């Protein structure tokens, strides 16, 4: 008699516990091998997007120069968007920083004009609160805001502030973006291809979205560590320790961070760049010759 006839109808052989554990282990190994590759692909895509954002910002700086005869300024310290007779002021009269001043050139003219609000205070509140994806690096975060009230902002009115991942050169006032004073291409005597204009800023990842001192006033703020950084301090990657970004340039990218040079081109700079070279890269007229091999 065929022994198969003695098996219960519909019953199939099953995995033993050991076989199941082996299969699970194999799947875990495969996932472990694939995950770094997936992460590298995602980072590469995010870096490309970040590069494109800086390319748009660099082009906007030059379009601003073409229309007004100078690059955007860093605005006035502790100031916000300035409207005169309902129109955004330009040049030395504009209190807001470069991030606000280039809005018409990154397809955000409606925000620049205050979104149709009828009073200057409401125009300011609209502009300050409106995020723009061009100002965020996807390796770090999506567009983000923080809401709070501060005595120096419109007499303590609670407001939402749209943040920013990029900063201009430099806080020591030797770069392309100065407090109040407009800079022209002819002022960049070291050459536009050898002068840093805007780059990614270093941040504390544990405090993203919170009211930290260098990431709370947002991209519209005048002469603020939110949008202006030092080049006489060495750049560094983002961190997860105490403190903020310490007014340095840097990013969430491994190894290097992106910057837009004064000629509008975008390049990557190593965190291990010679500090003296980086300081000169931020200076528009110190006379030092810098080549791409230096960074």
pLDDT > 90: percent of the chain: 77
Could you tell me what percent of the chain has a pLDDT over 70? 91
Please give the tally of structural domains in the chain.
1
Range of the domain at 143: 34-294
In this predicted structure, which of 2-6, 17-21, 117-121, 152-156 has the lowest mean pLDDT? 2-6
**Residue 168 counted as domain residue:** yes
Q: Is the pLDDT score of 110 beyond 70?
A: yes
90 assigned to some structural domain = yes
pLDDT at 1: 46
User: Cα(21)–Cα(37) distance, rounded to whole angstroms?
Assistant: 25
Secondary structure E strands in 180-262: 196-200, 228-229, 256-261
DSSP string over 102-162: TGGGGT-HHHHTTTT-SSHHHHHHHHHH---GGG--TTT-SS-EEEEE-TTSGGG-EEEEE
Is 28's pLDDT higher than 90? Answer: no
State how beta strands 228-229 and 166-169 pair.
Answer: parallel
Instruction: Kindly report the pTM of this predicted structure.
Output: 0.86
List phi, psi (to 5°) of 87: -115, 145
CA distances from 182 to 19, 69, 174, 177, 233 (A): 72, 9, 12, 7, 24
Is residue 8 in a domain?
A: no
pLDDT at 42 over 60: yes
Residues 6+ apart with CB under 8 A from 113: 87, 88, 123
For residue 2, tell me if it sits in a domain. no
Where is 266: in which H helix or E strand?
strand 266-270
| In-domain check, residue 260 | yes
pLDDT at 152: 75
Is the residue at 110 inside a domain?
yes
124 part of a folded domain: yes
Q: Domain for residue 14, yes or no? A: no
DSSP character string of 175-195: SSS-SS----GGG-TT-GGGS
């Amino acid at each position: 008699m065929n022994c198969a006839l003695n098996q219960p109808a519909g019953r199939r052989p099953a995995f033993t516990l050991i076989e199941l554990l082996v299969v699970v282990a194999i799947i875990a190994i495969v996932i472990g091998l694939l995950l770094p590759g997936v992460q590298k692909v995602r980072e590469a895509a995010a870096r490309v997007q970040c590069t494109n954002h800086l390319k748009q910002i660099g082009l906007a700086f030059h379009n601003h120069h073409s229309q007004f005869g100078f690059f955007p300024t860093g605005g006035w310290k502790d100031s916000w968007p300035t409207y005169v007779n309902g129109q955004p002021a330009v040049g030395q009269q504009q209190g807001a920083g470069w991030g606000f001043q280039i809005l018409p050139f990154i397809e955000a003219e409606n925000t620049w004009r205050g979104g149709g609000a009828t009073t200057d205070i409401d125009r300011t509140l609209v502009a300050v609160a409106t995020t723009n994806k061009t100002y965020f690096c996807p390796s770090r975060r999506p567009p983000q805001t923080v809401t709070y009230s501060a005595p120096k902002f419109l007499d303590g009115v609670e407001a939402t502030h749209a943040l920013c991942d990029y900063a201009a050169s430099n806080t020591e006032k030797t770069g392309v973006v100065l407090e109040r004073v407009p800079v022209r291409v002819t002022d960049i005597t070291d050459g536009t291809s050898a002068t840093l204009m805007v780059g990614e800023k270093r941040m504390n990842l544990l405090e993203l979205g919170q009211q930290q001192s260098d990431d709370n006033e947002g991209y519209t703020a005048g002469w603020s560590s939110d949008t202006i950084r030092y080049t006489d301090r060495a750049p560094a990657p983002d961190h997860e320790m105490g403190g903020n970004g310490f007014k340095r340039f840097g990013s969430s990218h491994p190894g290097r961070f992106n910057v837009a040079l004064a000629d509008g081109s975008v390049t990557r700079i190593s965190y291990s760049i010679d500090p003296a070279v980086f300081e000169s890269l931020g200076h528009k007229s110190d006379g030092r010759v810098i080549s791409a091999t230096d960074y």
